[in-house]
Structure 1
Amino acid sequence: MRKFNIYTIVVSLLVLSGCSDFLDTQSYTTSTVENYYKTPAEVYSALVGCYDGVQSLWSGGGAFPVVSEIFSDNVFGGGGNGDGLGMQLLDEFDKSRSPSDQSIFNAAWVNYYKAIYRCNILLGKLDQVDWGTDTSLKTTYEAEVRFLRAFMYFDMVRLWGSVPLLTEPSADNIAPSDPQVIYAQIAQDLVFASENLPATSYASQPVTTHGRVTKWAAESLIGRVYLFYTGYYQQQDLAGVVTKAQALAYLEDVIANSGHGLVSTFANLWPAASVDNYAGEDNKETVFAIKYTYTSDYSTGNDDGNKWLVLLGMRSFSSYPYGNGWGVGTVNPKLWDAYNSTDTRKVASIISIEGENLAFKNQADQREYTGYYIKKYTPMSNKDGSSVAQTLAANAGLKSDFQIAQFQDYVVIRYADVLLMAAELGSPSAQSYFDQVRQRAYGANFSQLPVSQENIMNERRLEFALEGIRYWDLLRQGVDVAANAIAETTQVLNGGVTATKTISASKILATKGLQQIPDTQISLSNGVLKQNAGW
């Protein structure tokens, strides 16, 4: 078969480095695939490489947490007024907005398959290792890697629909698989992980293992995958692998036995919203997160930073505690207005230029200025206006800057999500789970609402705003639901001048909510890959 270039990964990819906690900054010796994977220690090194691959997924264009918000009704594309229109292409589902960006997702596509390649290599070598008399470590490592592979395929199948499904190392130019087949593999990997990872409670997890996949992460992700697949594809179960009752049982197990819980104050989940009261990375509400550190270094090539975070900062402007960034993802005023004034999540989630009396000066350089920016994920500044990330890097003797040294983790799954998913799936405790999330949000102003599908979905919008979840929640209710929610014609400021912003429902309907497969990859595949409808 003809070889597909993106799958050909040179041996140098086995030079592994990582980030804090489990993913430390140790470098591992380069080895060939043939002579490596002989001992548990070598497998551990390769396991770190798999996590490192996941950490690097969004180091190029098309970062999943960013684009997921841009697709939604939460934010606009934003960016600099003189920038290209790639963000507007994504925001409006319209390739005519930036015809030169037909491969806007190419870096992300390549990074996903690089990381999957690492996972598949490791999974294929486990049987050749001398594990001694206790093979439990082998099973644990396999479970972690299968979770990571499932996590990545879940991103990809949501973005692009049909993609090539590789479960072993290959450079073959294979055709995309049907989504049902991909989801079946995702489900099988997650079920294996949930059944073979130790049931260690949050309080009992060693600090050195923070950042690694847990049984609770696997069970929680099963719930998320089940809800999206059965909603978007209108199916009764998860690709014949997980039933509704089983999905709920996994979530109930997390609630009953994981030791995870809600952080008492919502704002304390986010460093920019709480500063000195930040609950910290790996707090009890974090079920799974992608880890980052400030240790990126231009001189060594070490690349552990959160490169996408800087996109979301206020455009070339800092005001303690907020650092400067590139102004992508300006918040839609509709989201600000959706919150009740007594909902503490409002000011914890969104930076209001007027509400916080910020002397923002760069409207002339900002596209689609609304007066609102993302607070949950934004760079941080010191009181003197300098970058926190860059200061930490400099103090460690690293050659870095504010663009590559951002270190805030991306929290993929919070315990609040587990509660609301279980409520949505019909738990007998649904009202209690629903109330717990809302009681934290409203405090003394809490008043009970009846648990219902409509109320749960509205609560999810407010609870998880700007965390990369809203779009997928809309899409799983139906493409028409998503299109109607996202479509609008409104006024924004482009370079300080009033302009009309239009997002057409017909564009979203035409694409079925899917994104364009990079033209670069279609060309490399010699036409085996086909462009999605509407693009």
Structure 2
Amino acid sequence: MKKIFASIIAISLFAACSKDFLERSPVDEQTETSFYQTPDQALQALVAVYNQLNIGDYDNIHLVSELASDNCFGGGGTSDLVWKQWDRFQEASNMNLGLWQKYYTGIYRANVLLSKIDGVNWGTDSTLKNTYVAEARFLRAYFYFDLARFFGNVPLATKPLTVSEYNMPQATPADVYKQIAEDLKYAAEKLPAVAYQGIPTSNYGRVTKWAAQALIGRVFLYYTGYYNQNDLAGVVTKAQAASYLENIINAGGYGLVDSFPRLWQASAASFVGEDNKETIWSIKFTHKGLGNWDQHNGNRMQVDIGIRSQVLNPYYKGWGAGTVNSKLWNAYDGADTRRNASIISIEDENLTAYAIGDQSQYTGYFWKKYMPLNDGNADSKGGNFQIDNYFDDVIIRYADVLLMAAELNLGTDLGKAQGYYNQVRDRAFLNTTSRKTLTATNGKSLIMEERRLEFALEGLRYWDLLRQGMSVAKAAIDNSSSDAQFNVSFRTETQGLFKIPEQEINLSSGVYRQNPGWAN
């Protein structure tokens, strides 16, 4: 973290952008002291914070959390180690360094902007200032939430640090989550209540009031579950969390897309398109880096999970990470439209040209969500298939809001919980006869299983397991096989937390403490 906080924002960072509002023109180099004068400069600084969302290669947290869950094995090639290490809860010295640096870079940029924003000449437009502050605080909360889930005990900084502050001790999780909750509440209060239908297309990808309220629900459920607490760090109560979700349902203008497969690009001509009415917030990507490895415009996770080294129409090639566990495929009812929309079955799709080659941990199943497609592949657009795939990473869908609201209403309004649950299940089966009845005793387990099926391969399963307790996580993740490459044993002594990079431990001069279950 010392290196991150010691760095100075360079204007060249602002040129690496994604879509629409993020596509800002480069500006001449300026010093930090001469910048932050105008609203346009403030926007460029905000874009620099957003740009950090695009960082991530083989270590994208979406992918890593799926490998750590029961949904996937490490996969990749026979010589690829790090994906298998995440899958098997093995360790390497700096395997999580990219994640640590990504999020603290984003936090640093947000903190610099927030520390400078009062010096911007806003004229009479205080609304714009409040919006930029709210977006920056949302993004800081988002970065800290991923850090806190991943590492547990992390340093907490809400301003740019001086040299003497570089080795600040790790904060307690309660303090970090308190800051996350306060940032998200600010964003939920200050961002305008523009319903989905009124959001300009040029603003897709920017955070909204609804994204802030939805993320409050997600953070509340994780924190209270994982840490066995009644509220979110004394900032958000259960009733308030439910109220935020109700507000999205009643006023956000969102809804479920009529058919689950249409949510995903693999549905081809029937794909409903990005930024549809179910997308509450997504990270935007584009192919426009056109093979420039210094740019991070593309969704680099996609090549990781692509079918290894071969093009099998309609799918394009990749590295074969995250081979899907057959247990996930078998968990679906055969009539559930989500199975074939979420997972590629080599056998069921009759992909007879498939060759295993050096694919490791082959199961016969690959991701369909986020799989690169041959039609419009990055190479054909003048880019590089390794770095220029361009499907957006959908972070929060309306279906998640419904199931979170159902969960929070289980103890207070079972009828409302049932109604929200039914909407998701009805869409999955395209009928109303496949419903299951929620009760006070089985409601939580039914909702958690529905989340497993609805959000498979979307980066939520591991965290849903952890918030149910270590015994639940271990029972789900442990895998025994006559083929040793599929043996996985979840180490409860880690409490589900990952190893803090040794480089950061060393740079702290002994101030940082390694997480339990991991060697220094």
- Alignment TM class, shorter chain as reference: over 0.9
Q: CA deviation at 1:183?
A: 0.1
3-state SS in 2 of match to 1:263: coil
In 2, distance between residues paired with 1:336 and 1:306?
25
3-state SS in 2 of match to 1:481: helix
User: CA contact under 8 A between 1:295 and 1:303: conserved in structure 2?
Assistant: no
In the alignment, does 2:276 pair up with 1:280? Answer: no
Relative distance call for 1:346 and 1:31 in structure 2 (3 A) is same
Q: CA deviation at 1:14?
A: 5.5
User: CA contact under 8 A between 2:9 and 2:109: conserved in structure 1?
Assistant: no
Superposed, which structure 2 residues align to 1:473-488 within 5 Å? 473-488=464-479
**2:181 maps to which residue?**
187
Gaps of 5+ in 2: none
Q: CA deviation at 1:282?
A: 0.5
In the alignment, does 2:102 pair up with 1:108? Answer: no
3-state SS in 2 of match to 1:302: coil
Gaps of 5+ in 1: 96-100, 395-399, 492-497
Q: CA RMSD in A?
A: 1.5
2:67 to 62, 65, 70: 70
**2:260 maps to which residue?**
266
In 1, distance between residues paired with 2:426 and 2:18?
35
In the alignment, does 2:499 pair up with 1:516? Answer: yes
Amino acid at match of 2:89: F
Q: CA deviation at 1:403?
A: 0.6
In the alignment, does 2:513 pair up with 1:530? Answer: yes
Relative distance call for 1:216 and 1:445 in structure 2 (3 A) is closer
**1:119 maps to which residue?**
110
Amino acid at match of 1:73: D
In 2, distance between residues paired with 1:251 and 1:94?
38
**2:144 maps to which residue?**
153
Encode CA deviations 1:409-430: one digit per residue, 9 max, x unaligned.
1000000000000000016321
Amino acid at match of 1:74: N
In 1, distance between residues paired with 2:192 and 2:431?
39
**1:366 maps to which residue?**
359
**1:86 maps to which residue?**
82
In 2, distance between residues paired with 1:271 and 1:299?
24
**1:341 maps to which residue?**
334
Number of residue pairs the alignment of both structures matches: 506
Identical-pair percentage:
48
**2:399 maps to which residue?**
416
Superposed, which structure 2 residues align to 1:18-37 within 5 Å? 18-24=17-23, 26-37=25-36
Relative distance call for 1:303 and 1:297 in structure 2 (3 A) is farther
Runs of 4+ in 1 over 4 A off after TM superposition: none
Q: CA deviation at 1:13?
A: 5.7
3-state SS in 1 of match to 2:282: strand
In 1, distance between residues paired with 2:36 and 2:221?
37
User: CA contact under 8 A between 2:230 and 2:237: conserved in structure 1?
Assistant: yes
In 1, distance between residues paired with 2:102 and 2:407?
33
3-state SS in 1 of match to 2:378: helix
In 2, distance between residues paired with 1:314 and 1:44?
39
Amino acid at match of 1:450: T
2:169 to 168, 171, 175: 175
In 2, distance between residues paired with 1:320 and 1:297?
23
In 2, distance between residues paired with 1:455 and 1:359?
37
In 2, distance between residues paired with 1:473 and 1:412?
15
Encode CA deviations 1:365-391: one digit per residue, 9 max, x unaligned.
111000000000111113xxxx61221
Encode CA deviations 1:425-447: one digit per residue, 9 max, x unaligned.
01632111100000000013742
**2:346 maps to which residue?**
353
Superposed, which structure 2 residues align to 1:363-512 within 5 Å? 363-382=356-375, 388-392=377-381, 394=382, 400-426=383-409, 428=413, 429-444=416-431, 446-451=433-438, 452-491=443-482, 499-505=484-490, 507=491, 509-512=492-495
Superposed, which structure 2 residues align to 1:293-372 within 5 Å? 293-298=286-291, 301-372=294-365
In 2, distance between residues paired with 1:125 and 1:459?
45
Q: CA deviation at 1:27?
A: 2.2
In 2, distance between residues paired with 1:50 and 1:310?
24
Amino acid at match of 2:389: Q
In 2, distance between residues paired with 1:519 and 1:362?
39
Encode CA deviations 1:284-339: one digit per residue, 9 max, x unaligned.
10001111000113458333111121100111122122111100000000000000
Relative distance call for 1:13 and 1:500 in structure 2 (3 A) is same
In 1, distance between residues paired with 2:25 and 2:318?
30
